[in-house]
């Protein structure tokens, strides 16, 4: 089977706190029109590129769940392991503020690749 090249466009930036909480999502100006209707939502699904994953780790296809060597090796597609061929992270986020202009530290920034409305709310 022939592999095709896939291109993903970064649409913004996800700013995270020192933990794993998302503090702010910035959308690049050229994609801001896609935010129309967001004010009617309370939650969105956020997809981002886990940029800290090393290239060598993208070839790992089995890991111990939660890094626990007592647990048997399991395929990454059956887990939420960050080690995977395409390091795409996903989380559901409650929207607290819209159009906020607060300053952000750059502690943990990830490349935002997609936003989806919570399908159960549509």
Query: Structural domain tally of the chain?
Result: 2
Same domain, 30 and 78: no
Q: What is the predicted pLDDT for the residue at 105?
A: 36
Using alpha carbons, list the distances in angstroms from residue 48 to 14, 67, 72: 7, 22, 28
Same domain, 47 and 11: yes
Q: Report pLDDT digits (tens) over 63-122.
A: 999 999 999 999 999 988 888 898 888 888 877 766 544 433 334 556 777 767 766 654
Q: What is the predicted pLDDT for the residue at 92?
A: 82
Give the domain extent around 78: 53-85
Task: Single out the residue of 105, 104, 117 nearest to residue 46, CA to CA.
Answer: 117
Spacing of C-alpha 55 from chain mean position = 18
Is residue 69 a part of any domain in this protein? Answer: yes
Same domain, 118 and 64: no
Q: What is the predicted pLDDT for the residue at 98?
A: 60
Same domain, 13 and 72: no
CATH number at residue 99: 2.40.30.70
């Amino acid at each position: 089977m022939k592999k095709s090249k896939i291109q993903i466009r970064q649409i913004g930036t996800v700013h995270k706190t020192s933990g794993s909480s998302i503090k702010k999502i910035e959308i690049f100006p050229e994609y801001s029109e896609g935010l129309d209707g967001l004010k009617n939502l309370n939650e969105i699904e956020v997809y981002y590129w886990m940029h800290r994953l090393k290239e060598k780790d993208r070839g790992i296809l089995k890991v111990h769940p939660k890094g626990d060597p007592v647990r048997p090796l399991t395929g990454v597609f059956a887990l939420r392991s960050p080690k995977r061929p395409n390091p795409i992270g996903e989380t559901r986020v409650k929207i607290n503020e819209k159009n906020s202009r607060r300053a952000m530290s750059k502690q943990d920034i990830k490349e935002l690749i997609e936003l989806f409305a919570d399908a159960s709310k549509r």
